[in-house]
Structure 1
């Protein structure tokens, strides 16, 4: 019994609160620019216009009209002509380029080292000099090795004479076949020993393995050098190589023969043309990159190994790429669209985009060269094929608003 009374009390309180918030119905809306006349004139006007109160907007609902004076302009209808800005799709030659940095290296580079120990008896170059293949660079003291070579040559001559005599005697059966075989074996041993002596003698002369430019000389006449000591660097700088690390996603797009443009901080504002000549067989698992090597000419000798290089690799070239302003492309979900203008009507067209250059975007698919597209005012287009009017730049927003509503004058006292 008590819970029924409690529920009835709560319902009564809720109804009373709702009535209090609702309040009494307000008076009918009255335009701020007009004041109701007083006295008999008001009665006359009421008799002359008996239906005015009923026809006034909001008179019966107690709310102001939907579009009060001075409010925002009405929305453009679906059948109205919309003012837009437009531009033509132009055709240019466009290259797909990827940028990378790398280090310059000589086409051929070697550190000259002796293969035998000895004292330097002659130096045939100066630091930074250009040499030809086979030029003598350093000669070691070869007196001992040359003497050993002459001794072996004399022993070889005696062995040849002994072998010839043994062969003659064996033919006459004055000596056994074993004696002849021993003489032949001794002859071959001395021949091999002479070749070894000559090889040691030749190792005392260090010559340039290829034509190039020498580095700085780090040894002097009379220095004793050991086997493997670094003497000087020789590099072939007639052409240079640049190694670039490219992301593995470009692996299917790079190939030998592609063109490179290389820049160096030492020569600002100058580009050196190069050509891709090799691609590494492996992809670096740590950086997920592949090394591509380019070659560039260095006939004037301006480039040096170790220079920091900034390269641009041309992956592909499109001589007839269709470009439109970036603002013409409208994203809708996962698709991209442009509004194409034909016969003063705008038609929404799905497109596929490519590269972006200087405020323009490449249209890979969906738009023909020379087509006119909307660049401003797309949000005012309510339907596909809507009538449009092309205006100058910056006027698309003001042209669709129309004249402004007059501001009501303040009423007099």
Structure 2
């Protein structure tokens, strides 16, 4: 085969290879263009409407729950535990016996004191009869009287000592964990059990001094705790401290809360809202409808485009107080406007949407990953 013929065959082969590659690339490009030009289906979203609501202004604070009366019961005198008459977590009344210490020695000592007092009484009465007839001197009479009075005082002291061998509840309340056992020797001041009066119960918090003129005793208060995030405890301000802290420029406030079921425990951390008496109109939306960001909060308003399709409009808003998973919108949104309720993380401005659930009122529902992320973002902000 000549050189010219081989060259032609090789050239034709290369043209076929490169032509195939070029054809595949053209096909791939056309398929990609078709894919990019394919219209994205509308996103399915839940919707709600911004609502005008009677809004009671409130002052947010953090505080701690404390018992009206709360102590750690301890013994005043040493002794061996003879009897335990309560269990951990019991409800007790004032005067109920908690424990009894061995008191045999004290009882014997009391009998001795009573015998001494009786002998002193007899001697005093005998001399009383004689002194009126000048049969004994006044000094002998005075000494007998002093001995009689002293013997009665020793009886009283011994009875008081004996009573201390029985430890009683000082006020009604709920016991904590028992810290002593049967037969245990207790030195003076050994902790026995904690007792707290928990119904009603106090929550104590601080308020900046600039708000001191806006609060007063009797103002309504609500509180929430981490143990019961869905529950709101209600009460009222019962006392305001008479001075302002020079270090923090705050004033301590004490509120009394209803706690009939004992859900609140002393030491709990509480989020407290002091409600002011002047309600006002406010635009509110569910917390899940707001994206909280460092550079500004926003909502997705649902509007119609020129073709009559529903699309999202990203709207910056100024938010105010949050209460019961509903947030006040101070500006940027009007009552009645329809907004996306959940699923903000997967949306963008101008995106076509379809409404799966259109509620006339803000919803408190929080579900899914978006709600958890929104809560984390809100906490971070």
Q: Same fold (TM over 0.5)?
A: yes
Instruction: Say whether the 8 Å CA contact 1:120–1:140 is kept in structure 2.
Output: yes
Query: 2:114 maps to which residue?
Result: 153
Does 2:252 align with 1:291? yes
Work out the CA distance in 2 between the residues paired with 1:108 and 1:168: 55
2:125 pairs with 164, 169, 192, which one? 164
The answer to whether the aligner puts 1:229 opposite 2:190 as a matched pair is yes
Question: Root-mean-square deviation (CA), in Å?
Answer: 2.1
What is the deviation of 1:315?
Answer: 2.7
Q: What residue ranges of structure 1 are gaps of 5+ in the alignment?
A: 1-89, 326-354, 362-413
Equivalent residues in 2 for 1:80-99 (5 A)? 93-99=54-60
**Counterpart in 1 of 2:316?**
none
Answer whether contact 1:99 1:310 (CA < 8 A) is retained. Answer: yes
Distance between the aligned counterparts of 1:93 and 1:252, measured in 2? Answer: 23
Deviations 1:327-360, CA, capped at 9 Å, x for gaps? xxxxxxxxxxxxxxxxxxxxxxxxxxxx888334
In structure 2, relative to structure 1, the CA distance for the partners of 1:281 and 1:290 (3 Å cut) is same
Contact 1:105 1:242 in 2 (8 A): yes
What does the per-residue CA deviation read over 1:195-253, in whole Å, with 9 as the maximum and x for residues that have no partner?
A: 11011000110001111111111110111111112111011112111011111111112
Secondary structure, aligned partner of 1:228: coil
CA, structure 1 residues 322+122, in 2 after alignment: closer, same or farther (shift >3 Å)? closer
Shift of 1:95: 2.4
Q: 1:191 aligns with which of 152, 163, 166?
A: 152
Who is 1:303 aligned against? 264
The size of the alignment, in residue pairs, is 241
Counterpart-to-counterpart distance in 2, 1:359 and 1:159: 86
1:358 paired residue among 304, 307, 328: 328
Distance in 1 separating the partners of 2:283 and 2:92: 57
What is the alpha-carbon distance in structure 2 between the residues aligned to residue 308 and residue 286 of structure 1?
22
Q: Which residue of 1 aligns with 2:71?
A: 110
2:212 match: 251
Whether the 8 Å CA contact 2:52–2:283 is kept in 1: the answer is no
Q: Say yes or no: does 1:125 pair with 2:95.
A: no
Distance in 1 (alpha carbons) for counterparts of 2:149 and 2:257: 52
CA spacing shift, 1:91–1:358, aligned 2, 3 Å = closer
Change in CA separation of 1:158 and 1:305 when aligned onto 2, cut-off 3 Å: same
Deviation, 1:140, is: 0.9
Distance 1:257 1:157 in 2: 60
Deviations 1:104-148 (A, max 9, x none): 112211110000111111111111111111111011111111111
Partner residue in 2 for 1:263: 224
Alpha-carbon distance between aligned partners in 1 of 2:145 and 2:80, rounded to the nearest angstrom: 38
Q: Which SS does the other structure have where 1:173 is aligned? A: coil
| Alpha-carbon distance in structure 1 between the residues aligned to 2:196 and 2:252 | 22
Q: Contact (CA 8 Å) 1:93, 1:317: kept in 2 or not? A: no
Following TM superposition, by how much is the alpha carbon of 1:184 offset from its aligned partner in structure 2, in angstroms?
0.6
> What's the CA shift string for 1:135-192, capped at 9, x where partnerless?
1101111111111111010110111111111011111111111111111111111011
How high is the TM-score relative to the length of structure 1? 0.55
Show the counterpart of 2:352: none
Give distance in 2, aligned partners of 1:115 and 1:109.
18
Distance 1:111 1:268 in 2: 29
Residue 286 (structure 1) shift: 1.6
Q: CA deviation at 1:324?
A: 9.3
Q: Which whole-Å CA distance do the structure 1 matches of 2:205 and 2:262 have between them?
A: 21
Query: Secondary structure at 1:316's aligned position in 2?
Result: coil
Task: Report the 3-state secondary structure (helix = DSSP H, G, I; strand = E; otherwise coil) of the residue aligned with 1:358.
Answer: strand
Q: Please tell me whether Structure 1 or Structure 2 has the larger radius of gyration of its CA atoms.
A: 1
Which of 174, 183, 188 lines up with 2:135 in the alignment?
Answer: 174
Contact residue 54 and residue 282 of structure 2 kept, 8 A: no
TM-score by length of 2: 0.60
Report whether the alignment pairs 1:209 with 2:181. Answer: no
Partners of 1:193 and 1:304 lie apart in 2 by 44
Aligned to 1:316: 277
